Amino acid sequence: MGRIIGRLAAIAVFLFAQAAIVSAVEIKVYSTIGVKSAIEDLAPQFEEATGNKLNITWGLISGFVKKAQEGDVPDVLIVSRPGIDSLTKDGKIAAGGVTLGKSIFAFGVKHGAPKPDISTVDAMKKTLLATRAIGYTDPAAGGASGVYFSKMIEKLGIAAEIKPKSKFPPPAGFVGTLLTSGDVDIAFQSKPELATTEGVDIVGPPPGNLGQTNVFAAGVGAASKNGEAGKALLKFLTTPAAQAVFKAKGFDPA
């Protein structure tokens, strides 16, 4: 991790030189909780380097995409790659959006608990049907992993049995907290979200072609008054050192 910090320091000097041209500003950011673990580590580095402040609101991808479609576009939006592409096409996000990383959806259990068998579709179905309670993001709220899980159990023909024992975290919350509290025995969310929740062990993704990857991206609001500062943030998040932080948090290169 020392290498990462050293490289970030070098980037900080470079960014500070760029930022010195303009006055420090507050950058309004809407970000999916899917990248929270990495952004929380990187935000202070960017702020120190540039003097700019990040005013970050955390939430779900679908909610932020809807806000942007309705005209509530922040200086920087961090959602899914399809979301950024769609909003760019609609003129809400400026051209030049960047990809930050990708993550698989995975199952997790409380640290130290036996890892259930999800090695095959049949084994996973048996595991889910036998589980006392299952946690995932509320599909009605638009959480990407929850929407996917809901569709998956419908496809497998076990939705009627799973839904009564389903539990959801608070809006923009992490499903892993339901494991650590004992409310559920197995959880489903993106791997980085599970991996960075203390007290959670990763079991793995659904088997075979049931696996799903979510790609995260960022873009600058087309009408943002802080567009240059927003571009500097995107540039910072895609540097090799920043990408090393994403990797350390469980993300794969996009």
Mean pLDDT calculated for residue range 65-75 = 96
Same domain, residue pair 89 and 150: no
Same domain, 24 and 70: yes
My answer on whether 169 and 223 are in the same domain is no
Q: Which domain holds residue 107?
A: 103-210
pLDDT tens digits along 77-111 = 999 999 999 999 999 999 999 999 999 999 999 99
Considering the domain architecture, whether residues 126 and 79 belong to the same structural domain is answered as no
Same domain flag for 205 and 117: yes
Q: Across the strands, what pairs with 134?
A: 166, 186
Asked if residue 53 and residue 177 are part of one domain, the reply reads no
Distances (CA, A) of 219 to 94, 231, 234, 237: 7, 8, 7, 11
- Name the phi and psi angles at 18, rounded to 5: -65, -45
Within this chain, do residues 14 and 57 fall inside the same structural domain, yes or no? Answer: yes
Q: Which residue in the block uniquely carries the two structure tokens 């995975």?
A: 106
Is 254 a domain residue? no
Q: Looking at the structure, do residues 70 and 126 belong to the same domain, yes or no?
A: no
Please compute the mean of the pLDDT values over residues 226-252 and round it to a whole number. 94
> Does residue 116 belong to any structural domain of this protein?
yes
Q: What b/e string do you get for 38-55 counting C-beta neighbours within 10 Å, with b at 16 or more?
A: bbebbbebbbebbbbebe
pLDDT in tens, 123-170: 999 999 999 999 999 998 878 899 999 999 999 999 999 999 999 998
Q: Are residues 77 and 152 in the same domain?
A: no
Which of 109, 245, 132, 112 is closest to 187 using CA atoms? 109
The pLDDT assigned to 170 comes to 87
- With respect to residue 50, please indicate whether it lies within any of the assigned structural domains: yes
Same domain for 142 and 116? yes
Are 151 and 219 contained in the same domain?
no
Residue 67 lies in a domain: yes
Q: What is the pTM of this model?
A: 0.79
Q: What is the DSSP string of 152-179?
A: HHHHHT-HHHHGGGEE-PSTT--THHHH
Domain count for the chain: 2
Q: Tell me, what DSSP letter sits at residue 252?
A: B
Taking 70 as the threshold, does the pLDDT of residue 248 lie above it?
yes
**DSSP at 141:** G
Whether 253 is covered by a domain: the verdict is no
Query: Is 20 within 8 Å of 46 (Cβ atoms)?
Result: no
